[in-house]
Structure 1
Amino acid sequence: MSRVFADVSTGNYTGPLRPQVHFSPPAEWMNDPNGLLVDANGTYHLYYQYNPIGLTPANQHWGHATSKDLYHWENQAIAISPPTSDVQIFSGSAVIDVNNTSGFFPNQTNGIVAIYTLNTPTKEVQEIAYSTDGGFTFTPFSGNPVIDVNSGAFRDPKVIWHASTNLWVMAVAYANDFTIGFYTSPNLKSWTHASNFTDPAIPGPNTSAQTCSGALLPGHANMYLLQISTNGAPGGSLTHYIPGTFDGTTFVALAPAAPIDFAQDNYAGQFFFDTPRGDGDPVFIAWAANGAYAASTPTAQEGWRSAMSLPRAVHLAPTRGGFALVSRPARALAPVLGPLLARNANLGHGELLVDFARGSPSGAVVLHAEIGAAAPGMSFDFAFASAASGERVGGSLNFDRAGAGGVVHLDRSQTHGFVNPGMGFNETFAAEVVPQAGGGASLEVVMDRSMLEVFVNGGSKSATMLFFPTEPLTTLAVNASGVPEGVVVSVEVFALESVWANTTAAV
């Protein structure tokens, strides 16, 4: 008998660690995003792995939230519950069956089909469920499972429509084999195995990592993107992307696998089905956490665990070595952008100090910095701090090589609400950067109470990093050094407005 939870709770979003511009569940445990889609009315649907009765991963359901702008989310009732107490609804995806290929929707063009892994005591199988009410309630298909290969490690289906072949395509992980399988279907109910793909660089030599999810996304110029997340490798949870071509049955990589982020807390992301909609780049949301320590973080004291990344608009850009995934906050943060707190049009060798305790009631801010020309010996530093505890989190851009090549650094070692290196909670991160066209550099930093997201040079490098202070961080210090004469360094700091001030949840 299905365990249905009628009240998902309104949630308390006021805790000092609770992000204010990122999505987090009303209460209890959340992990991977599932079934991301945008419907014909422009409503974004975010489903997610959810344990409605505990603060650790177990009892997995599909939670649900909706938004008109990708930032202001309305919590909805649980969308899919396990049919019995000994099985779980694991990760998956969802599609809009506009042409009723499934036969579930004879009188509508907005029927939604969810495709997910059912985790049973003996194996993992792929099942589907359909919704005739816009994605709020689902009915399991009577012919489930739709794929069963008699494996205990076969999960996380991502489905897209392949227009050239007029078939649905599924990417699904053979987890213990480090392999992505591709299946095709005319109707979402009967599936045919088409091919397999394995990248020798994932999970890498001498690791116990398991391929955990795969995704295909139509890219630019007929490019596709294969995304592979691994769990258990050094560093905990990691996500890589591989650009390539796909003819409807076979994926061919055009560049080596590369990490999506250079920090540690971006995992199992998905793109919204039916984006782009002709008005911009595809949009991506990830679980802003790491499996190595997510179930131990101190947000449990506030009654919740885990949040999602910012929604990111992404595209593939050509580079000297192949392609790079470029990501930046969707809609340039416009739905949450608050008042300007500080501006310095030419910082030079000076320092900018911002106390945002009053100017940003949410405790969230965004820093924008533009460096007119990168030169060896230049450094740009930023630090968010607490006057009460002395804690700080921050980073730097250092240009230390001929040709103005440099490194971006992030450091969370000076926050003390969660310190556990034994769990793989690394304290510092770094990545190489090259100047933008024209020789300059840019930095965008979103600080949201216990999360930092960083975008370097328009998003050519990005990072998601959790941190857990014992007191709220309320000041920002920015400074530059080694700036050559005539080089302009400009800085702006904006408040970000809370999206949770008037939040309610469905009952």
Structure 2
Amino acid sequence: MNDPNGMFIDAHGTYHLYYQYNPTGIVAGNQHWGHATSKDLYHWVNQQIAIFPPDAHSNIYSGSAVVDVDNTSGFFPHQNNGVVAVYTINTPTSQTQALSYSIDGGYTFRPYSGNPVLSDNSSQFRDPKVIWHAPTQQWVMAVAYAQALTLGFFTSPNLKDWEHVSNFSHHGLPGDQYECPNLVEIRMEGQKEPMYLLTISINPGAPLGGSITQYFPGFFNGTVFTPVDGAARISDFGKDNYAGQFFYGIPGDRDQISIAWTSNWQYSQLVPTGPSEGWRSSMSLPRVNYLKNLSRVGYDLVSVPYSLSPVINTTSSLVQKTIVGNGSVRLDYSSGASGALYFQINITDIPTANISGTANFTFLSSRSGESVRAGYFLAPDSAFFIDRGNTRGFDNPFFTDKFSTSCPYNSSASSYTWRVEGVIDRSILEVFIDGGESSATVTFFPEQELDTLVINAGDLNPGVTVSAAVHGLDSAWARVEDVDGTVLGNVTGHKAQERDTH
């Protein structure tokens, strides 16, 4: 699997996630739209393949989905929950935008007989993102002229007939091509009126190599997107967060929810996958997002995990709440069946001058000695790092092993606090710094499972306190495992019964 596609929430509170899917192999190709649904964004039901290629020479590439509540398309004369998917059909010579529509709430789709609905006679024109723009009462599509480093904006009254209205070109980091645009109305902290957020994924040509997503806070009047400034902003300082998409159907004055693909095109088709497992790649944690104006930084996209309450184990023996100080804490979590943890480290009463010290955490394998480590350097110009270089299950010249970001202090404060929280699973680490003001996603591939956490701090100023909390996470798939612990994908029973029981 790769890019998330067509994400929306329906009137019953069910989240629908479609995704780029090859049902016959573990590399990209033969692209379909896979489909999964969830009530809580952690427990997912694998649904049947939603959209198939029209012929043996075509692939269904990335796109989006909307709920046509007013039947502007004419596909749904007797309902208000019709779903329209807008996506790219890729052939060896062309990329065009097409529609399929669903009369059963997004579970099965019929291709529109008038496809394609948009073409520019190019092989590099893809990944439509469609939203409803209420002030102008029209549909808006952002679509990438990939190798021209341009997004085109189009409008339509009915999702079928599209008119070009503006372009957005050569902003931020150009990379080698633009992909997977997203446009969403989003809350700005301390501001009554929401703003807009435009994201553009670039691949190849990211600063660390391969693929990455950048974002632009700004304003949208229905035809033209205007960024607040010319700055380039990256959504993740790791290397494994790409093509993120926001769920359609969340009001603009609420925090928006996103999910991204956790890999990088430089090595995504080479990373290990067990021969008995038969799958490769996965999605990120669901993230809650809003905009904030930071001291010394300016506009920032804040991202934190969506509430982990459906999977966090508050009664687990792994729970630790302790003070580290200038010392260390060691935790054996090998008894956790899922191999996943939520952790939080807080540093308080950091002085405003002569700052010193470190606070680090390391996830170890007691069997092989392999590790993934990260840490924070307390200094006037503080920084945070991640190092995945001490895992031996995958070696590739583009599998960059070290990442870092700056953590500027609020210069008006009398003392400082700092916090990192994160989730580690068997092969993915996601961290969120200072309430999500910056975040990173990294994959790793040890030969033996990581099972030990060590948190340590040293050289801290007098009075500085370090506290930590760790919780085991339950497997989101435990209830659908078979007797061998295997979870089958895209194998479902009767859809109506499944919707009733889940």
How high is the TM-score relative to the length of structure 1?
A: 0.90
Comparing both chains, which one has the higher relative contact order based on Cα–Cα distances under 8 Å and sequence gaps of 6 or more?
1
Q: Distance in 1 between matches of 2:135 and 2:215?
A: 23
Tell me the equivalent position of 2:224.
Answer: 250
Deviations, residues 121-169 of structure 1 (Å, cap 9, x unaligned): 2110000000000101000111110001101100000011101100110
Q: Distance in 2 between matches of 1:374 and 1:468?
A: 35
Structure 1 spans left out of the alignment, 5+ residues? 1-29
Would you say the 8 A contact 1:383–1:476 is kept in 2?
yes
Tell me the equivalent position of 1:395.
Answer: 374
Tell me the equivalent position of 2:324.
Answer: 347
Count matched residues.
466
Would you say the 8 A contact 1:64–1:75 is kept in 2?
yes
Deviations, residues 417-449 of structure 1 (Å, cap 9, x unaligned): 00111xx11000000012466510001021100
Structure 2 spans left out of the alignment, 5+ residues? 188-192, 481-487, 494-502
Tell me the equivalent position of 2:198.
Answer: 226
Shift, 1:70, TM fit? 0.3
Tell me the equivalent position of 2:431.
Answer: 454
Tell me the equivalent position of 1:89.
Answer: 60
Q: What residue identity is the alignment partner of 2:331?
A: V
Deviations, residues 351-401 of structure 1 (Å, cap 9, x unaligned): 11100111x210000111111133521211000000110000010011122
SS of the residue corresponding to residue 296 of structure 1 reads coil
Q: Distance in 1 between matches of 2:465 and 2:131?
A: 46
Question: 2:255 aligned with 1:281, yes or no?
Answer: yes
What value does the CA root-mean-square deviation take over the aligned residues?
A: 1.4
- Match of residue 273, structure 2, among 291, 299, 322: 299
Shift, 1:485, TM fit? 2.3
Q: Distance in 2 between matches of 1:62 and 1:163?
A: 28
SS of the residue corresponding to residue 335 of structure 1 reads coil
Shift, 1:277, TM fit? 8.2
SS of the residue corresponding to residue 176 of structure 1 reads helix
Tell me the equivalent position of 2:29.
Answer: 58
- Match of residue 454, structure 2, among 461, 464, 477: 477
Shift, 1:223, TM fit? 1.0
Shift, 1:35, TM fit? 0.2
Would you say the 8 A contact 1:214–1:226 is kept in 2?
yes
Shift, 1:346, TM fit? 2.3
Question: 2:23 aligned with 1:49, yes or no?
Answer: no
- Match of residue 215, structure 1, among 182, 206, 217: 182
Would you say the 8 A contact 1:222–1:245 is kept in 2?
no
Q: Distance in 1 between matches of 2:123 and 2:345?
A: 49
- Match of residue 268, structure 1, among 237, 243, 256: 243
SS of the residue corresponding to residue 412 of structure 1 reads strand
Question: 2:385 aligned with 1:406, yes or no?
Answer: no
Would you say the 8 A contact 2:31–2:60 is kept in 1?
yes
Would you say the 8 A contact 1:373–1:441 is kept in 2?
no
Tell me the equivalent position of 2:11.
Answer: 40
SS of the residue corresponding to residue 309 of structure 2 reads helix
SS of the residue corresponding to residue 21 of structure 2 reads strand
Q: Distance in 2 between matches of 1:267 and 1:465?
A: 11
SS of the residue corresponding to residue 153 of structure 2 reads strand
Q: Distance in 1 between matches of 2:174 and 2:458?
A: 40
Q: Distance in 1 between matches of 2:345 and 2:359?
A: 9
Shift, 1:486, TM fit? 2.1
Question: 2:340 aligned with 1:364, yes or no?
Answer: yes
- Which stretches of structure 1, 4 residues or more, deviate above 6 A after TM superposition? none
Q: Percent identity?
A: 50
Taking the TM superposition and a 5 Å limit, the aligned residue runs for 1:83-482 are 83-204=54-175, 209-220=176-187, 221-234=193-206, 235-255=209-229, 256-276=231-251, 280-301=254-275, 302-319=277-294, 320-331=296-307, 333-339=308-314, 340=316, 341-358=318-335, 360-375=336-351, 376-401=355-380, 405-421=381-397, 424-435=398-409, 439-482=416-459
Q: What residue identity is the alignment partner of 2:430?
A: E
Shift, 1:213, TM fit? 1.6
Would you say the 8 A contact 2:3–2:260 is kept in 1?
yes
Q: What residue identity is the alignment partner of 1:338?
A: N
